[in-house]
């Protein structure tokens, strides 16, 4: 089942549970706007035409908010599914944004820095009439980071002949970015993981964890979980996984991979090389998919032994995979709660840009923790009658978006 269909299923279920008109499903799944643009880029071997996308899903609760993804498999359908997910994520953590997502079908690793800058600024110019601090606010996603956000900020400011740092979040600190933004998603994942583990009466320290994905989110998740006493016994990247039952030295593995430009499964001074599927099947307390969508599906879900799965990635479990995991008694914390730390700190960056305030790390983390903990408490309160965490999350988010839509006269 596609990611988009899976989200629609939970939306339809939530509307029925809340006693709302099923016809609302069409409104809440239909995006406000979908844009596809052609991006001709002059490269050394001639002109290559890339495709760019932006899907604005819903803005009943505030400006559209969502990342920019550079990936070879990026397309309009992916943008739609991720934009809708962002609508529910911002509603669940109760920050005043709607949902959007965009990106370019490209392999960023195959572009040099000049080409990435040219492509990013061309994309921004194509979308400039949509972007704005009060209308649509992009952020980093897979394949993009602070540098791409700086280029978006520059191109948009040139388009509008003004200074508008609030048009994009995840910027470098020197251009109005917020301290704590780079590690925000991973830190948020670690907080939610700890709360969920405590709810399951797991005893700290020495809770065992396996993390699929060793990019920005995976690295920071591992780092913060280790600080609270978890034993990270396996991590992976696109090429394979590294396993050490005694626990991995996360900083040493990260540093070795960066300095030697190798995959994690080649850092054999710190553990043994295993396959991706072997990582998913490890006998651990907590499994954290922090890489790609649909990583856990009907074929490998029966092999999962973890008691708790925390979705650091967006939509890492298929509908059928989730059915199998749930039937096996495995608790799942949904992506819209687990990885909301990133958009939460983006919200705080946006506030600082709009107000002229500059908060230190302690202030940013305190405000982030408060927002996430309030969302977590609301989620736990809503879990009644044996509802799953995902069901409870969708009930909260859908109800908030539907109420705002009704008050504004959209429905």
The CB-side HSE value for 34 (13 A sphere, CA atoms) comes to 13
The CB-side HSE value for 362 (13 A sphere, CA atoms) comes to 0
Q: CB 355: neighbour CB atoms within 10 A?
A: 9
d(CA 291, CA 296): 11
Is residue 35 a contact partner of residue 107, using CB atoms and an 8 Å limit?
no
Question: Of residues 44, 51, 101, 366, which has the active-site annotation?
Answer: 101
**Does 121 participate in catalysis according to the annotation?**
no
Q: How far apart are the first and last CA of the chain?
A: 29
d(CA 145, CA 126): 20
Is residue 349 a contact partner of residue 328, using CB atoms and an 8 Å limit?
no
Q: Is 346 labelled as part of a ligand binding site?
A: yes
d(CA 204, CA 256): 28
d(CA 6, CA 18): 19
Q: Is 89 labelled as part of a ligand binding site?
A: yes
Nearest partner of 29 among 3, 51, 49, judged by Cα: 3
Beta strand residue intervals within 72-177, DSSP E? 99-105, 136-140
Q: 3-state secondary structure string, 380-402? A: HHHCCCCCCHHHHHHHHHHHHHH
Q: Is 185 labelled as part of a ligand binding site?
A: yes
Partners of 43 in the beta sheet? 46
d(CA 291, CA 214): 8
Q: 3-state secondary structure string, 243-284? A: ECCCCCCHHHHHHHHHHHCCCHHHCCCCCEEECHHHHHCCCC
d(CA 194, CA 200): 10
C-alpha dist (Å) from residue 314 to 3, 288, 318, 336, 405: 10, 12, 11, 8, 25
Residues at the binding site for NAD(+) are 185, 216
Q: Which sequence positions are flagged as catalytic?
A: 101
Residues at the binding site are 65, 89, 185, 216, 346
Residues at the binding site for substrate are 65, 89, 346
């Amino acid at each position: 089942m596609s990611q988009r269909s899976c989200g629609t299923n939970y939306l339809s279920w939530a509307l029925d549970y809340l006693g709302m008109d099923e016809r609302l499903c069409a409104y809440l799944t239909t995006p406000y706007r979908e844009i596809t643009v052609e991006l001709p880029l002059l490269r050394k071997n001639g002109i290559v035409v890339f495709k760019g996308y932006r899907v604005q899903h819903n803005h009943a609760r505030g400006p559209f908010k969502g990342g920019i993804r550079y990936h070879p498999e990026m397309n309009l359908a992916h943008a739609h599914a991720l934009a809708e997910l962002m609508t529910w994520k911002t509603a669940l953590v109760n920050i005043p944004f709607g949902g959007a997502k965009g990106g370019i079908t490209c392999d960023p690793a195959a572009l040099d820095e000049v080409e990435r800058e040219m492509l990013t600024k061309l994309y921004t110019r194509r979308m400039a009439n949509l972007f704005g601090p009060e209308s649509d606010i992009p952020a980093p996603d897979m394949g993009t980071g602070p540098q791409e956000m700086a280029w978006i900020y520059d191109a948009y400011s040139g388009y509008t002949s003004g200074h508008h740092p609030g048009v994009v979040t995840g910027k470098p600190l020197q251009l109005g970015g917020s301290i704590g933004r780079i590690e925000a998603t991973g830190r948020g994942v670690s907080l939610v993981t700890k709360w969920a583990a405590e709810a399951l009466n797991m005893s700290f320290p020495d809770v065992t964890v396996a993390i699929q994905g060793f990019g920005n989110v995976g690295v920071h998740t591992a780092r913060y979980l280790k600080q609270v006493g978890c034993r990270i016994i396996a991590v992976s990247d696109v090429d394979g996984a590294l396993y050490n039952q005694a626990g991995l030295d996360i900083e040493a593995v990260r540093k070795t991979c960066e300095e030697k430009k190798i995959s994690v499964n080649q850092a054999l001074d710190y553990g043994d090389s295993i396959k991706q599927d072997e990582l998913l099947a490890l006998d651990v307390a907590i499994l954290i998919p922090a890489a790609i969508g649909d990583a856990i599906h009907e074929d490998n879900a029966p092999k999962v032994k973890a008691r708790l799965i925390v979705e650091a990635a967006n939509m890492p479990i298929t509908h059928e995979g989730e059915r199998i995991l749930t039937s096996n008694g495995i608790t799942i914390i949904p992506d819209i709660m687990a990885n909301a730390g990133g958009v939460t700190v983006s919200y705080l960056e946006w506030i600082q840009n709009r107000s002229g305030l500059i908060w230190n790390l302690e202030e940013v983390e305190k405000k982030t923790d408060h927002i996430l903990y309030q969302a977590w408490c609301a989620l736990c309160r809503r879990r009644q009658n044996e509802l799953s965490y995902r069901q409870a999350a969708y009930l909260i988010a859908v109800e908030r978006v539907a109420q705002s839509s009704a008050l504004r006269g959209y429905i």
